[in-house]
Amino acid sequence: MSSLSLTKSKSGFYESAVVNALSKMDKGFLNLTLPNGENLEIGDSNSSYRADLEVKDARFFKCVVLYGDIGFGEAYVNGLWETDNITSLIKWIILNIENAPSVSGSKVKSLGLNLFKWFNRIYHNNRSNSITGSQKNIAEHYDLNNDFFATFLDPSMTYSAAYFKTPELTLAQAQDEKYRRLCEQLHLKPTDHVLEIGSGWGANAIFMAKNYGCKVTTVTISKEQQKLGQERVEAAGLSDQIEIIIKDYRNIEGQFDKIVSVEMLEAVGHNYLETYFAKCAEVLKPNGIFAFQVITSPDSRYNSLRKGVDWIQKHIFPGSLLPSVAVINKAINNTSDLTLVDLKDLGLDYARTLKLWYTEFNHKLNEVKALGFDERFIRKWNYYLNYCEAAFEMRNINVMQMVYTRPNNTER
């Protein structure tokens, strides 16, 4: 066992900088193993927040010093460090976020860590959410491979937070409960023409048409999702009720009784939030209802997150930004007369959803490899799923169902 005081000659500049930063993250407990086998204990060994970090390669330290939390994630993908539980480690980091200067969204800064953060910021800024940029950003993730997503999603191919209304629900049942709650908030009826923005693989549209008898026009900019979604609609015998169209939300025309969207708003970006909500207000009928599910950031940290970039934005969802509830409400108030009538928190439900996806993903690794994905890809996706699970479980981010209606709407 060793103390935390390491000399520069022993550890090198990068190692010293990282260990010094970790030593200030004293909430919870971290067991840190250095490349030479030396073991360091940081924080309270009696804490319930316990994590393990084994640095396998000294290049890890340089990654963190130069690129902060993005370098930390990239170092894992490249096999430079290991842990017995990624989720526990990320939870420990989040617990210490106000003393973690290299973490995106932290209000604490350090001149010695994340030295090249400007590089990743420029890279992120160039992935704008213009019409052309959005198509490229969405294709990079959602057009990855439909068969790949099928390895870990439930049979409905739903890629968003489930709602575990009761603890015993399976994932598939909880996904239905999520859709059912949105439909109930929308007061769906057979005469409704519903606009869905962001089709996914058609699960929500199929659920609405099958269970409520309504007509659904759903728009997407993912060619792979549109293709499989259309096949699923035809297989369900609902082609006369559901139309899946390749179209950017900015180009939507017509009038709709209800509008719904599930975890699409994260791809809109700060500069286009008012554009998005203005379009929704434009195509929603006077007595219409608008409901959506969205992953959110805390109001108190939104500005710092907006000015930064994290590993998820660089490697999983390019161009994305998690809006806060206050920012959403402000954008809606600035562009319409819509008023908030319901707000439902599903953050812990998302943590459970992600844990189930992670478990299923790792049960299907042979299938994933057979699709041509290598070990680095598998490590990247395990890091992504565990990273997000930890963030939701720690309330570092959240997911909300939000429902808006107009004044004088007697239906809602």
Residues with catalytic roles: 388
Nearest to 245 by CA among 271, 284, 216: 216
Nearest to 193 by CA among 178, 210, 208, 204: 208
340 backbone φψ class: left, alpha, beta (φ>0; ψ -120 to 50): beta
Burial level of 190, CB count in 10 A (0-12/13-18/19+)? exposed
Q: Give Rg (Cα) of the chain.
A: 22
Three-state DSSP class for residue 403: strand
- What distance in Å separates the CA atoms of residue 31 and residue 50, rounded to the nearest whole number? 8
Edge to edge, the sheet with strand 193-197 lists 242-246, 215-220, 193-197, 256-262, 284-296, 398-405, 339-345
Strands 193-197 and 215-220: parallel
Nearest to 65 by CA among 118, 5, 6, 21: 21
Which residues lie closer than 8 Å to 117 by C-beta, 6 or more apart? Answer: 67, 68, 308, 309
- What distance in Å separates the CA atoms of residue 212 and residue 176, rounded to the nearest whole number? 13
- What distance in Å separates the CA atoms of residue 30 and residue 125, rounded to the nearest whole number? 34
